[in-house]
Each structure stands twice: as C-alpha cells, then as structure tokens.
C-alpha cells in the first residue's frame, strides 16, 4: 500500500504525485534524496517530475547519483515497482535502470499539451489492468522528452497516438525494463487524475502502484 515518492532539490510534482496516490487509495511517503534507505514497507517507488538540480549537466544526471538511488536500485532488483515520471524517467535512464536516454524535443523547445497514449505492452503490472490498445488522455510538459533507444530490444509500454512524438523513437511515451516492473513515462499521469482538470485517465497507473 505504501508508495515512496522521492524528492530532490528541484522536484516539482511530488505533491501532485502523492495526491494521486491517495486518490488511488494508497498512502504516500515523501523520501528525501539524501536518505540511505527507502522506508520500511515500501511497495512501490515514484520518482516525480520536475527539474531536479535545475536540469544542469544532463536532465536527471545529478539526481541519479543521489544516495537514495542505491536503495531504489536494490528495490528494483528485488522486482519492486518503480515509476519515473518525466524528470523521473530521465533519472531512471541516467541510473541505468531503464534503457536509452532522453534527448531534447525535436522542436528544441519546452512543450506542454494534452496527448493521447496507447498501451502497447499490457504484460506488465503497470499496464495489465488497462489492457492492450487502451487509450489514455494525459498531458506532457518537458524540454527533453524524446526517448532514444533500441525499440527492438526495449519494451515500449505506451506510444503517442496520432501526433508528432517530439522525435521520440518508435513514438515511445513510456518504456519498461526487461522485467516490466520499472516504468519510465514522459507524460504526467498525476496531472490527469481528476475530471475537473480535464482527465482522470492517469489514475490507473497510480492504482497499479497501490496494488503492488
């Protein structure tokens, strides 16, 4: 039930992610980057969006070397679920927990807009309840959101539908590790958990975390 939400200097979406976890019926525990261990009883980890360390050097590079990441790696190796959203996706790639890297958008600018995603790999705990082909309306907002990797070996969990994917290889919006328990996602599901804000489609991902 308990989901750890990491926080680095420059994290921005930790509170929205915690709210989404609570909406999904779980409890969220904020974990400071300098901790050596995740809290006991952590079932899933969310690395929220933001500009950790100002995106300096490379987005996610400095945060991926934070102390708490050692325990996140151990958690992942045990098969624990990890969701990296936007900057969190960048952190997971920099940490070597996900394949590939995130490059600057093809527009060479920040892009904030609603996107439609399609589930392309339903054989993972993150996507199983949604099912293959399910469509989700979730916003993106990033500078460096173009995934670069080998789609023949990587598991692409979600793809952008029917629009420019900002230069992402294979229109990938979300990428899984081999096991399917670590998910990196460029769009922001925590911004899509309330119909008042335009969509509640993102809630399914937090429900998956809570069910871990």
Partner 1 sequence: MSRVVITVMPKQGVLDPQGQAVQGALARLGFSGVEDVRVGKRIELSVTGDDPAAAAREMCERLLANALIEDYRVEVGS
Partner 2 sequence: MTTLEPPLHRQLGLTDWEAGRIDELLGRRPTHPELVMFSLMWSEHCSYKHSRRLLRRFPTEGPSVLQGPGENAGVVDVGDGWAAALKIESHNHPSAVEPFEGAATGVGGIVRDILAMGARPIALLDSLRFGELASARSRHLFARSVAGIGHYGNCIGVPTVGGEVAFDDRYEDSCLVNAMCVGVVRHDALLRSAASGPGNAVVLIGNRTGADGIGGASVLASAELDEEEDRRPSVQVSDPFTERKLIDCCLELAGRGAFVALQDLGAAGLTSASSEMAAKGGVGIELDLDAVPLRQPLEPAEILVSESQERMLAVVEPGRVGEVIAACDRWELLATAVGRVTDGGNLLARAAGRVVVDVPARLLADDAPAYDVPIEPAPEPEPLQLEDVPAPSDLAAAWRDLLARPNVASKRWVYQQYDHLVGANTVQRPGGDAAVVRLPGSSRAIALTTDGAERHCQLDPRAGGAAAVLEAARTLACVGARPAAATDCLNFPNPEKGATGWRLREVIDGMSEALRALGVPVVSGNVSLYNESGSRAIYPTPVVGMMGLLFEAAASVTHGFDADGDAVLLAGAATPRLDGSELLGEARGRPPAPDVPAQAALCAALAEAAERRLLRSAHDVAAGGVAVALAESALAGGLGVEVTLPVGRRGDETLFGEGGGRAVVSCRRDGETQLAELFASHGVALKRIGTAGGAHVAVDLGGQPVALGLDEAAEAYETGLAEALR
The catalytic residues are 86, 188, 190
Contact at 8 Å (CB) between 87 and 59?
A: yes
Q: Which 3 state secondary structure label does DSSP give 86?
A: coil
Q: What is the DSSP letter of 39?
A: P
Q: How far is the CB of 9 from partner 1 (least distance, A)?
A: 9
- Rounded Cα distance, 56 and 8, in Å: 13
Strands (E), 42-181: 42-47, 81-85, 101-103, 111-119, 135-142, 146-148, 155-160, 172-176
Q: How far is the CB of 78 from partner 2 (least distance, A)?
A: 29
Which of 62, 28, 33, 70 has the alpha carbon at shortest distance from 45?
28
Q: What share of the chain is helix, strand, coil (3-state, %, to 5)?
A: 25, 30, 45
54 binds partner 1 (CB under 8 A): yes
Q: How far is the CB of 169 from partner 2 (least distance, A)?
A: 22
In the region spanning residues 56 to 75, those forming contacts with partner 1, defined by CB under 8 A, are 56-57, 62, 65-66
Residue 57 interacts with, from partner 2, partner 1, none (CB under 5-8 Å by kind): partner 1
CA torsion sign for 59, 62, 68, 69 is positive
Q: How far is the CB of 11 from partner 2 (least distance, A)?
A: 8
Return the structure tokens found at 64.
């991926």
Determine which residue in the list 6, 49, 53, 212 makes contact with partner 1, applying CB under 8 A. 53
Q: How far is the CB of 212 from partner 1 (least distance, A)?
A: 30
**What Rg do the C-alpha atoms of the chain give, in angstroms?**
15
Which residues would be at the binding site for partner 2 (CB under 8 A)?
Answer: 9-10, 12-13, 15-16, 19-20, 50-51, 53-56, 109-113, 139, 141, 143, 188, 190-191, 193-194, 196-198
Pairing of strands 172-176, 182-185: antiparallel
Residue 22 interacts with, from partner 2, partner 1, none (CB under 5-8 Å by kind): none
In the region spanning residues 94 to 133, those forming contacts with partner 1, defined by CB under 8 A, are none
| Contacts with partner 1, 138-177, as mask; x by CB under 8 A | ----------------------------------------
Q: Which residues bind partner 1 (CB under 8 A)?
A: 53-54, 56-57, 62, 65-66
């Amino acid at each position: 039930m308990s989901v750890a939400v990491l926080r680095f200097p420059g994290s921005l979406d930790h509170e929205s992610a915690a709210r989404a976890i609570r909406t999904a019926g779980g409890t969220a525990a904020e974990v400071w980057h300098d901790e050596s261990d995740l809290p006991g009883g952590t079932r899933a980890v969310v690395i929220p969006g933001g500009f950790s360390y100002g995106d300096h050097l490379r987005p996610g590079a400095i945060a991926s070397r934070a102390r708490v990441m050692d325990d996140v790696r151990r958690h992942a190796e045990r098969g624990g679920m990890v969701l990296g959203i936007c900057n969190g996706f960048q952190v997971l790639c920099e940490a070597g927990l996900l394949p590939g890297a995130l490059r600057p958008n093809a527009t060479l600018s920040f892009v904030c807009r609603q996107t439609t995603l399609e589930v392309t790999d339903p054989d993972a705990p993150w996507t199983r309840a949604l099912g293959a082909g399910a469509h989700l309306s979730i916003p993106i907002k990033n500078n460096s959101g173009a995934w670069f990797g080998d789609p023949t070996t990587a598991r692409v969990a979600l793809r952008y539908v029917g629009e420019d994917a900002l230069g992402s290889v294979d229109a990938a919006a979300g990428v899984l590790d081999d096991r399917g328990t670590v998910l990196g996602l460029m769009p922001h599901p925590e911004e899509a958990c309330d119909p008042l804000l335009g969509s509640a489609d993102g809630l399914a991902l937090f429900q998956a975390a809570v069910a871990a």
